Amino acid sequence: MNMTAHISDPPLKVHSARKKMRRKPIFSMDVVAPALKDAFVMLRPDVQWKNPVMFVVEVGAVLTLVYIVMALLGKSESQVPISYFVSLDAWLFVTVLFANFATAIAEARGKAQAESLRRTRRDTVAHRRLAGGATEEVSSTALRAGDEVVVDAGQIIPGDGEIVSGIASIDESAITGESAPVIRESGGDRSGVVGGTLVISDSIVVRITGASGESFLDKMIGLVEGAIRQRTPNELALTLVLSALTLIFLIVVIPLVPMAANAEQYMTAYLGLDKPLKSLGTDVPTLIALLVCLIPTTIGALLAAIGIAGMERALRNNIIAKSGKAVETAGDIDVVLFDKTGTITVGNRQATEFLPMAGYSAEEVSRLSAVASFADETPEGKSIVKAYEAKGNGSAALPAGARFVAFSAQTRMSGVDLPDGQRIRKGASDAIASFVKSLGGAVPDALRSVVERVASKGATPLVVANNGTVAGVIVLSDILKPGMKERFDNLRKMGLRTVMITGDNPLTAATIAAQAGMDDFLAQATPEAKLDYIRKEQAEGKLVAMMGDGTNDAPALAQADVALAMNAGTQAAKEASNMVDLDSDPTKLIEVVEIGKQLLMTRGALTTFSIANDIAKYFAIIPALFAGTLPWLKGIDVMHLHSPTSAILSAIIFNALIIPALIPVALKGVKYRSLGADALLRRNLLVWGVGGVVVPFIGIKLIDMVMTGLHLIA
Amino acid sequence: MKLWIIPIGLLLAATLCAIPLSRYFAWIMDGKFRPPRWLRFFEKALDTGEQTWKSYAVSLIVFNAGLFVTGFVVLALQPWMPMNQDHKGMLAPTTIFNSVVSFMTNTNLQHYAGDVNLSNFSQIFFCILNMFLSASVGFCALVAIIRAFRGQKTVGNFFVDMWRVFVYLFLPASILFAVFFISQGSPMSFQSSFQVTTLEPGSMGTNDKGEPARQTIVTGPVAALESIKMLGTNGGGFFGMNASHPYENPTAASNFFNTLAMMLFPFALVLMYGRMLGKMRHSWVIFSVMLLMMAGTIIWSVYFDTMKPNPAFTSRAASRTYDIPDKTAPGGKIDVCKPRVAGLPVDQHLGNLEGKELRFGTSAGATYAAVTTDVTCGSVNAEADALNPLAALAPLTGMWLNCIFGGKGVGLMNFLMFLILGIFLAGQMVGRTPEYLGKKIGGREVKLVVIALLMHPIMILLPVGLFAATPWGMKAESNPGPHGFTQITYQFSSASANNGSAFDGLGVSYGFNDNPNPAPEARAWDIATGLVMLFGRYLPIIAMIAMAGFLGEKKSAPFGLGTLRDDTVTFGFLLLGTVVVVGALLFLPLAALGPIAEQLGPIPFGG
C-alpha cells in the first residue's frame, strides 16, 4: 500500500459540495442585461430556424405584421378594430423574445460561472527549464505542450501539467474553493496539477501538457459556455416530437378555415343576409394566434435553457462536463462503482481493539503497542497511539534512549529497543513468530486462531511481541466515513446499484461492503477486472458510472458510460473521462446522478405542462372563433371570458407570460426526490400534468379580468 | 337501471371470455399447437422461412396488393359470375375501387347496399373472404410487433401466421357463432331472393295490372357473413341496413352475442400481448385503461341518447335566442330566431327513440354505437344519424382515438403509439431518458411513432376541411349546418379509423354503373374515402412494425427502482391522460363545430 498517497486524501467533504454551491439569484442584473440584448439579437431567422417551434411563432408574427400593414394601406374589412391585431402581433413578438431571453439568460449564467473559473487562469510568469538545466522567464501564454517549468513555493503553476519530479503541497482553492492544501508528487496517480493553482511549499518540475488557451480546462469551459453546445440525442428526439406536434397543430388549424367558411356560408343562407357573415374563424391573424397557443411554445422556448442550466448546475458543483450528453446519461445510470479507499472508508485502517494473549492484559498489550508505535509516523501507527491515549492513559512519550526500529520490507515489522534491553515489535504474524522464535521464545497455539478470527472479520491483525513472548494482537479496522451509508441508501432509493472496488481480499471487501450497505463489491480489483466488470454490466443493458484518478483506471473510465475523473488525477484519466471533478471528491458521483435526473425530469415536466396547457386555450379560443356564426358555442366557454377578442388576447398573453414565469424552474430544475420511480411519477403527473390542465384556466381568466377591469379591451 | 344491463353484461362477458381466449391465442401464435398432419401439410407449404420485420412487412403489403386485384376482379365481373340469380349488374368503377379498398383494409365502409348491389357470389368471394383475410392481417402485424419487442431477430413468417389466425382462430369461432345466428333465425342459403305475398295485400303497391305487388325478400349466406363480420370487427352488412335488419340480427339474444362477438378478439388481443411478452400486469393496465374509456363512451352515449331528450324538441330550445354581433345590422346585432319545430309536444321520457330497433331494448342502439366504433367494427344496429347530437360524440370519439381496444391488432398498435408518445413526453419525469420494455426510445423510434400518429388526424382533418367548403361535401349532406358537418366528419373519421360505420344522410352511393340517377358527388366520395382508408391503414402498420423492429434490436436494461414502472395505476393514468389529452387536442374543433354546435344551437338538424 502506498502510504504517501493517503496523505493527500481530500478531507471529509460529505456535504461540502452542497454547502459550496454558489447560490445566485436567477435574475441578477449582471446576467439579465446581456441576456436582454441577446434576446433581440436572436430574433435573426437563421438562429430561430434551429428551434422549429419558435420559428413558426416568428413567421406567424411577421405574417401578422404584413397583414396589419396591408390593412392599414387598404381598408380593413375585418369587423374587429386594428388595435386588436396590433396587440396580437406585439404579443407574438414578445413570445419569441421571451423564448430568446430564456436561452440567453441560461447562457449568460453559464458564461458567468465559466468566467469566474477562467479568471483564475490569468497570465503568470513561468520559469521554463532549458536544455542545460538553467531556467528562463517566459509568459505562461508562450508555453507549449512538452515544456518543463520549475515552480517554487509561493509561485502559481502556469499551466496544466504533470509533475516530473518533486513533491509539493498545493493550494487549489482558486479552482475548488477548498482551502485545505493538497499534496501532489511525481509518479503515481496524483501527479496532475492545474494551471492557476498555488504551490505552498517545496519545489516541483512540471511538464506542461496543454498549451495556454487550449488546455483541458479551457476546452471544457468552452463547452460549458455553449459556444460549441451540441444537442443531446434525447434533446434532438424531443425537438423532433415538438416539431411533429407543431405540424399536427398546423394540420388542425389550417382546415379550420374552410370549416369556418362552411359555417359562415350556412348561417348567411339561414338568416337570408345579403352580405356574407364573417367570423374570426376565417381571420388569418386570429388563426395564427390559435396555432401559436397550441404548439408547444413553453417547452420549445425553455428546452435549450434546460440543457444549458444542467451543465451550469454541474459547473456550480465544480464538475465540468465535457458534453451535455454526459450529464443526461448520468440520469440513466444503473450501477455506480466506488473506490473503497477515500470514498467509503477513511483513508487508512485504524486500531480499534487490542486482544491479549495468555499472560498479558488488554491494557498491557495496548501500552506495549503504543510504545512500539510512538515513533511510527504511518497512519496506522498513529492510530495505535491514539487508541491507547483514548483509554485515558494521557499522552505518553518514548522513554529517553530508546531506539526506533523502522519498518522494512525484509523484516516486515517495526518497533522499539528500550534502553533496558526490552525489545518490542509489531508486525505481520509470521514475521513476529520468527522474531520470537529467534529469541528462543515460543509462539502460543492460540495466536493462529485469534489472527484468523480477526482476518475473517475483514480487519488486519498486527501481532505484538515483547522480547521472546507474544503479547497480543492489534486489530486494525477500516473506518467507514460518517454519513456515507445514508447517501448510499439514497442512491438505492433512486434505483441505483452501488458497487465497491477495492484491492483488498474478498473477505475484507465483503465485510466492508456489508457495513457500508453496498450492493456488491469487486475485490482484488486490477484494471482488467474493473474493465471486465463494467463490460459485464453493460452487456446486461445497464449503464455504469465510475470515478477514477489513476492512469490504470483510464481503460475502465473510457468504458464506463459516465466517467468522472478527479482533477488531481492523471491526464490519462481525465482524457478518458467525460467529466472532471475539480474538488477531486469521490462522492461527487452522487451529485452527478442527481443533476442528470433533474435535467431529464425538468424536460419531461415542462413538456407535459406545455401540452396539458392547450386544453384550456381551446376552451377560450374556439367559442371566440365562432362567435360570429355559431354564437351558442359560448356554451363551452367555461371561463366566461369578456369578449371574443379578449378571449384570444388573454390566451396568447398567457401563452407568452408562462415562459418567463417558468424560467426559474428551467434554470433551477425540478427538485429531485429519491422516492422511487412510481411515487415520483405520481407526484410529477399531479403537479405538471393535472396542474398544467388547471393553471391556464385560472391564468387566462385572470388576464381577461385585468384587461377588462383596466378597459384595455373592447 | 335496466338501461345498464346490456352494457354491463357485455363488458363483463367480454372480459371474462378474453382471459381464456388470450391464452389460446398466445398458444397458437407461439406455434405450440401441433395440428393434425393434413393441416400441417398446408402450414409447411406456406412456410417460406423466418422473416425479418422488413420482409414480414413486404409480405404483408404484397399480400394486400393481391387482395386488391382479386377483389377488383370479383366485383368488376359480377354480371358474368355464377350465383347471380337476380342478374345484378356492375357497380360504378369508383364504387368498386372504394369497396375493394374498404374490405381489404378491414374498414367495410359500404357505398353500396349489399342486398341491392351484390350477388351471392360477390358476398362470399369478395365480402366473406376479405373479412377473414383482412382481419387476420391486422392480427399478424401485431404478433410481428410482439415478437420484435421480445428482441427476436426474425419475427415469424407472415403466411404461416395468416394460416394460423385464419384456420385455428377465426374459422372455428365463426362456425360457432354462425350456428348460433342460424338458431336465432338468420338465413343461411344460396338462394338469393324469394317473392312473397305479404299478409296485407297491396301494402307493397300494385303492378301494371292492378294486382297487389309481391315483396322481394333477399336472402343468402347471411349467418356465415354475420359471424365473421362481427368476430373480425369488419362490420360490412349483408344488407344495407346492417345489424338492424331482422335477418342479420333477429332477436335480443342475437343482438347481445352480435355485440359480444365484435368485442372478443380486440379484448383478448390485449391480454395476449401481455402473455406473449411475459408482462401480464402491464397488459392488464392497458386493458383497464381501454375498458375505462370504453365504459366512458358507452355511458356518454347511453346517457345523452337514452336518458336525455332530443334537444331540438325541448322547451329550452324554443325559448332561447342568440345574437350575432354585426356592425352593419340595426342595433349592431342579428337575432337568430327560435326554431320552427321546437316545442312540439313530443313525449321523450324514453329518450330519443328515432332510428332505434326497439326489439333490442332502448339502450341497445346507443351501446352498440359506442362499442362498434371503439373496436372499429362499424356494424350498426341503429341509425347513427338519428342519435342525439351529443350522443353522436361517443362513436366519433371511438373513431378519433381509434385505440379503445380498436380493431384486431391495429387497435393495440394505435394504443402503443400513444403509449410510446406518453412515455417519451411524460415518462422523463422519473428522471431517466424514456424507455419501454427496458429499451431506450430513441429518435428513430419516436419519428416512426409520430409518422403513424400523424396519419390519422391528417386523413380526417384535411379532407373534412376540403369537403366542408366545396360542393363535394355541401351537395352530399342531407342537412346543411352543424349536422351536415357531422355527417362529413363521421364519414372521413370512419374511413381513416378503418371503422366502416356510416352516419347516413350523406349522398355517397353511385349504385350500378348504369344508374341514371346517382348521388351527385358519389364519385368524389368514393375516391376520397378510398384513399383515406388506404393511407389510414398501411402507413401506421408499416411504421409501427418498423418501430418495433428498431426498438427490439436494442439492449434491454434491467428493471430497477428508478425505472418507470409500466404495471401500476399511476402508469395507467399516464396512458389515459396521454390518449385523452392528445385526442382532445386533435379533434376538439371538429367536436365543437359538429355535435356540440348542434346540441347547443337552436336549429335542429341544420334547419
Residue A673 vs residue B414, higher pLDDT: B414
**Residue A499: closest CA among A524, A533, A526, A531:** A533
The full length of chain B comes to 607
Measured CA to CA in angstroms, residue A261 lies from A276, A286, B78 at distances of 10, 14, 43
Contact B433 A605 (CB under 8 A): no
Contact B431 A331 (CB under 8 A): yes
Q: Quick one: pLDDT band at residue A129, thresholds 50, 70, 90?
A: confident
Best mutation target among A239, A262, A597 (most B Cβ atoms within 10 Å) is A262
If you write DSSP's letter for every residue of A464-507 in order, what string do you get?
EEETTEEEEEEEEE--BPTTHHHHHHHHHHTTPEEEEE-SS-HH
The β-bridge partners of A151 are A204
Q: How far is CA A374 from the centre of its chain?
A: 44
- pLDDT tens readout for residues A29-41: 778 888 888 889 8
SS3 B310: coil
Domain A121-210 and domain A350-477 have a common topology: no
**The pLDDT value given to residue B321:** 74
Rounded-to-integer distance, Cα A317 and Cα B93, Å: 72
Residues B88, B79: contact at Cβ < 8 Å? yes
Rounded-to-integer distance, Cα B159 and Cα B526, Å: 31
Q: Where are the domains of chain A?
A: 16-113+226-314+595-709, 121-210, 350-477
Site of grid cell 508486525 = A427
**Residue A428: closest CA among A449, A407, A456, A458:** A407
Q: Calculate how close chain A gets to B101, using CA atoms only, in Å.
A: 25
Q: Quick one: pLDDT band at residue A17, thresholds 50, 70, 90?
A: very low
Question: Which of A222-231, A426-435, B532-541 is the most confident on average?
Answer: B532-541
**The pLDDT value given to residue A5:** 35
If you write DSSP's letter for every residue of A325-379 in order, what string do you get?
HHHHHHTT--EEEEETBTTTB-SS-EEEEEEE-TT--HHHHHHHHHHHHTT--SH
Given a cut of 70, whether residue A648 has pLDDT beyond it is yes
Rounded to the nearest 10 degrees, how much is the dihedral formed by the CA atoms of B200, B205, B207, B211? 30
Rounded-to-integer distance, Cα B430 and Cα A605, Å: 9
- pLDDT tens readout for residues B161-178: 999 999 999 999 999 999
Neighboring chain B residues of A267 at a CB cutoff of 8 Å: 324
Rounded-to-integer distance, Cα A543 and Cα A529, Å: 17
Rounded-to-integer distance, Cα B482 and Cα B388, Å: 13
For A687, counting Cβ atoms within 10 Å of its Cβ (0-12 exposed, 13-18 middle, 19+ buried), the class is middle
Half-sphere exposure of A556 (CA within 13 A, CB side): 29
Given a cut of 60, whether residue A625 has pLDDT beyond it is yes
**Residue B475: closest CA among B515, B511, B507, B523:** B507
**Residue B138: closest CA among B409, B320, B364:** B409
**The pLDDT value given to residue A7:** 34
Helix axes A284-294, A82-118, angle to 10 degrees: 40
Site of grid cell 399511476 = B570
Rounded-to-integer distance, Cα A442 and Cα A359, Å: 13
Work out the number of other CB atoms within 10 angstroms of the CB of residue A115.
Answer: 11
Residue range A121-210 forms a domain whose CATH class is mainly beta
A339 an active-site residue? yes
C-alpha cell at A460: 488486519
Contact A240 B447 (CB under 8 A): yes
HEC string for A522-591: ECCCCHHHHHHHHHHHHHCCCCEEEEECCHHHHHHHHHCCEEEEECCCCHHHHHHCCEEECCCCCCHHHH
C-alpha cell at A403: 531506539
- pLDDT tens readout for residues B15-64: 999 999 999 999 999 999 988 999 989 999 999 999 999 999 999 999 99
Q: Which residue of B has its CA nearest to A615?
A: B585
Neighboring chain B residues of A684 at a CB cutoff of 8 Å: 426, 429-430
**The pLDDT value given to residue A517:** 84
Query: What is the tally of helices (H) and strands (E) in chain B?
Result: 22, 6
Measured CA to CA in angstroms, residue A208 lies from A133, A148, A665 at distances of 16, 6, 42
Rounded-to-integer distance, Cα A414 and Cα A429, Å: 12
Question: Which of A407-416, A458-467, B300-309 is the most confident on average?
Answer: B300-309
- pLDDT tens readout for residues B190-218: 998 888 888 887 777 888 887 888 888 99
Q: Calculate how close chain B gets to A598, using CA atoms only, in Å.
A: 6
Residues A517, A536: contact at Cβ < 8 Å? no
**The pLDDT value given to residue A528:** 85
Site of grid cell 328515432 = B354
Neighboring chain B residues of A618 at a CB cutoff of 8 Å: 584-585, 588-589
C-alpha cell at A247: 405540424
Contact B562 A267 (CB under 8 A): no
The full length of chain A comes to 714
User: One-letter amino acid identity for B209?
Assistant: K
Catalytic residue among A9, A89, A160, A339: A339
Residues A175, A582: contact at Cβ < 8 Å? yes
Task: Please state which of the ranges A123-127, A222-226, A228-232, B210-214 shows the lowest mean pLDDT.
Answer: A222-226
Sign of the Cα pseudo-torsion (A630, A634, A637, A642, in order): positive
Rounded-to-integer distance, Cα A326 and Cα B138, Å: 41
- pLDDT tens readout for residues A326-382: 888 888 888 988 877 767 777 667 888 888 887 888 888 888 888 888 877 777 788
C-alpha cell at A529: 477486472
Question: CB within 8 A of A274, min separation 6: which ones?
Answer: none
Rounded-to-integer distance, Cα B529 and Cα A661, Å: 46
**Residue B482: closest CA among A276, A260, A277:** A260
Neighboring chain A residues of B326 at a CB cutoff of 8 Å: 79, 277, 628
- pLDDT tens readout for residues B84-108: 988 999 999 999 999 999 999 999 9
Contact B461 A251 (CB under 8 A): yes
Q: How far is CA B294 from the centre of its chain?
A: 14
Rounded-to-integer distance, Cα B13 and Cα A358, Å: 83
CATH code for the structural domain at A350-477: 3.40.1110.10
**The pLDDT value given to residue A227:** 45
Rounded-to-integer distance, Cα B465 and Cα A259, Å: 5
**Residue B236: closest CA among B414, B446, B379:** B379
- pLDDT tens readout for residues A287-307: 999 999 999 999 999 998 998
Q: Which residue of B has its CA nearest to A680?
A: B430
Q: Which residue of B has its CA nearest to A264?
A: B481
Work out the angle at residue B294's Cα, subtended by the Cα atoms of residues B290 and B296, and round it to the nearest 5 degrees.
115
Rounded-to-integer distance, Cα A212 and Cα A141, Å: 5
Contact A689 B596 (CB under 8 A): no
Neighboring chain B residues of A247 at a CB cutoff of 8 Å: 454
Scanning A119-255, the segments in alpha helix (DSSP H) are: 173-176, 216-225, 233-253
User: One-letter amino acid identity for B201?
Assistant: P
> Average model confidence (pLDDT) for chain A?
83
Cross-chain CB nearest to B585 (options A294, A332, A608): A294
- pLDDT tens readout for residues B339-363: 666 667 778 888 888 889 888 988 8
Please name the helix (run of DSSP H) or strand (run of DSSP E) that holds residue A413, with its range, or none: strand A413-417
Q: How far is CA A466 from the centre of its chain?
A: 54
Sign of the Cα pseudo-torsion (B194, B199, B205, B211, in order): positive
CB contacts < 8 A (A, B): 250
Work out the number of other CB atoms within 10 angstroms of the CB of residue B392.
Answer: 28
Given a cut of 50, whether residue A9 has pLDDT beyond it is no
Measured CA to CA in angstroms, residue B579 lies from A676, B184, B245, B349, B457 at distances of 25, 39, 35, 35, 14
